[in-house]
Amino acid sequence: MYLLPQYTHIINPKLKHIYLSFDAYGGLIIKSPRVSQRHIENLILKKSSWIEKSRETLRNKKGKVVNFSDPSELYFMGKAYPLILTAHSKNKSTLHFDASSFTLLYSKYDELLFQKQINHFYKTEAQKYIPKSVSRWSKRMGLYPTDIRFRKTKRQWGSCSVKNVLNFNTMMMKLPQDVIQYIIVHELVHIKYKHHQKAFWEELGSYLPDYKLQVAELKTYIP
């Protein structure tokens, strides 16, 4: 007998189809138009193998959202470092990195605040590291963005707008340096080619001949 997993059902009457996805913790999210609960449960049964396989893939991803109740680690530049939570007397939370571990000092246990501290660390590092790399590659490639922006997103690592504004996910700082460089070059090539057709990949490959290795490594991480 298959036990139905817990799930969150979001009803949107504007939808025409049912969509299954997972949150950062592996929770099943179902978005659908108005349908019966039986219809949803039958779909879960039908998709049970896919759900379990997808969850297993997600469990094996690197850089997952921290579960503060368990021993945790943070990825930075492709390496995993222990995250140590330490109570202190000062009335604020701070996150420190000393090249061997992350230490989160806190006076009040607040997981939401802890996550904000982590997000702030990645954003600060991204703003220091990525623009310099973009500048180097821009000079080499002769492709210049109109602006560089940063934000934390759930899916995309980077994007290039029609106005050639490059957007980078601050969570890129979890990745190995060569994978970060791949994302930067990928988005710069989009200044020239607004598609993923043959010409795009040939241009990218002229700068990063082994880019497929970076693509494969990127797939092992979660934003």
Q: How far apart are CA 18 and CA 12, in angstroms?
A: 10
Mind giving me the DSSP string for 72-107?
A: EEEEETTEEEEEEEEE-SSSS-EEEE-SS-EEEEES
Consecutive H or E run containing 149: strand 147-151
Q: How far apart are CA 26 and CA 91, in angstroms?
A: 33
The whole-model pTM stands at: 0.81
Q: Tell me: the pLDDT tens digits for 104-113?
A: 999 999 999 9
Q: Tell me: the pLDDT tens digits for 161-195?
A: 999 999 999 999 999 999 999 999 999 999 999 99
Q: How far apart are CA 149 and CA 169, in angstroms?
A: 9
Q: Tell me: the pLDDT tens digits for 71-128?
A: 789 999 999 999 999 998 888 889 999 989 999 999 999 999 999 999 999 999 999 9
